[in-house]
Amino acid sequence: MVATRNLLVGSSVWVEDPEASWVDGEVVEINGDGITINCTSGKKVVAKASDVHPKDPEFPTCGVDDMTKLAYLHEPGVLYNLKCRYDENEIYTYTGNILIAVNPFQRLPHLYDNDIMRQYKGAAIGELSPHPFAVADSAYRQMITEGISQAILVSGESGAGKTESTKMLMRYLAYMGGRVAAEGRSVEQQVLESNPVLEAFGNAKTVRNNNSSRFGKFVEIQFDQRGMISGAAIRTYLLERSRVCQVSDPERNYHCFYMLCAAPQEDIKKYKLGDPRTFHYLNQSNFYKLDGVDESNEYLTTRRAMDVVGINADEQDAIFRVVAAILHLGNVEFTKGDEVDSSIPKDDKSWFHLKTAAELFM
């Protein structure tokens, strides 16, 4: 607010705009608490001094990679800097040791290959371009140097890119602490393969994006004295359970239901499944197919990932029996029975689904 009081006629400023959030302009008149601004959009506005923020006239056109370098660290300054970098295809920006990621809404595999990981190995934060690998490397180095546990918090609204960012952090930590386990299956591979399993049972298509995590998770990666990964624990909480039985159009239920309906024929027969459109828990929304996603292939990928993380065939079968039984339960309808306050399955279809659910639950 002090900077606002020091504004003069001719100062470059930011002012709130109902359409563009913030627009820049030049102060042409100051009358008490009212400031008149000629905006670059062509509009002339009068705003209260408290709604006007100074703009750095020497701000670089491509933005700055660390926002602690900004002359004014206020909302319009931060947003404008992120926009300038985004326009240059720079989706990562630091604020000190905090990394801000802006969802590019496209795949950028060149940003995350093994060569890039090698570059960030041992580099201090700020030495190279902002990147999740730099954050992961810093946490890893501090753990080794100080001998105490480190935590990385990934936070943001739905669709911001938390799921993908977490995957990149885990990939880097697996790269740094990798070693081959005795059975020929690397521990870091098991850590990474936990992602498709978690996503199958905890992610769904929402209005914001096609692979939104509908649960919070705390991932604990354990390292030994030499800095090698020795194990991992994933504690999930706050699963959005209401989504199982109630879905709004055009969202989808959890991926696992659609995968199972697209499973190989022998599995479809075993679980007595079929077209997802025939199940009440899936047909409340008219959205069934994700662009570029082969559900039958995703089912096999999830099965392979479950093998890697150590879920055996019997346990996998039990898991998918429960998933199938839930779908059948959703198709059971009731009607009033002969006894007082009693109910019975409505028709033969409801009896079939109830008996199938009972069989699957054993």
- Residue 46: CB atoms within 10 A of its CB come to 11
69 Cβ contact partners less than 8 Å away, ≥ 6 residues apart: none
d(CA 55, CA 78): 11
Q: Is 161 annotated as a binding residue?
A: yes
Peptide bond into 250 cis (omega under 30): yes
Backbone angles phi, psi at 224, to 5 degrees: -90, -175
Q: Is 333 annotated as a binding residue?
A: no
Q: Is 270 annotated as a binding residue?
A: no
- Residue 195: CB atoms within 10 A of its CB come to 19
- State both tokens at 126: 């700020």
Q: Is 157 annotated as a binding residue?
A: yes
Q: Is 269 annotated as a binding residue?
A: no
Amino acid identity of residue 86, one-letter, is Y
3-class DSSP assignment, residue 223: strand
Q: Is 63 annotated as a binding residue?
A: no
Backbone angles phi, psi at 25, to 5 degrees: -175, -170
- Residue 218: CB atoms within 10 A of its CB come to 10
d(CA 257, CA 259): 5
C-alpha pair distances (Å), 337 with each of 23, 341, 350, 353: 66, 8, 14, 18
3-class DSSP assignment, residue 331: coil
Residue set of the binding site: 156-163
Residue set of the binding site for ATP: 156-163
